[in-house]
Amino acid sequence: MQCYGRFLKWGKRRGYPIKPGETPLEYAGRLQGSIAEHSSPPLTEIDQLTGLFIEARYSRGPVSRKQSAACKKLLNMITRFPKVIGNLNTDKEN
């Protein structure tokens, strides 16, 4: 899913790229743990987007329009998360 790729780029721009060998669920958990310190983080949306990716990646059928639309909506909600987190690694070092 292209949408999940954009999600990974979003995380990478904030200083949290997916690590080699890291599963989507492990990455989601690590990212959520990193942003949990900030107000109103999109934790549920990250879980839902990750679930959609896993379903699309491992199912035998094509991605439905409904799944694609849900992915885009979730990604929009995640990427609209306040810019205050900018680079999460910077926050941790201060």
pLDDT of residue 51 exceeding 60, the answer is yes
Q: What is the model's pTM?
A: 0.76
Number of domains in the chain: 1
Q: Tell me the residue range of the domain where 78 lies.
A: 2-93
pLDDT of residue 55 exceeding 60, the answer is yes
CB atoms within 10 A of CB 68: 16
pLDDT given at position 40: 60
Question: Which position has the higher pLDDT, 91 or 60?
Answer: 60
DSSP string, 21-62: T--HHHHHHHHHHHHTTSSS--HHHHHHHHHHHHHHHH-SSP
